[in-house]
Amino acid sequence: MSLTLQQFNTLSQEKATSCLLTCCTSTSWAQEVANARPFTDIDALLTHSDEAWQQAQTTEANLLEAFDGHPQIGNVDSLKEKYRNTQDSAAHEQSGANDAEDDVIAALAQGNQDYLDKFGFIFIVFATGKSAQQMLDLLLARLPNDRATELVNAATEQNKITRLRLQKLLGAA
Which positions are annotated as active-site residues? 70
**H helix intervals, 99-131:** 102-119
Spell out the residues 6+ positions from residue 92 whose beta carbon is closer than 8 angstroms to its own.
129
The phi, psi pair for 76, rounded to 5°, reads: -60, -40
Q: Residue 33 burial (CB < 10 Å; 0-12/13-18/19+)?
A: buried
Cβ-contact 36, 73 below 8 angstroms: no
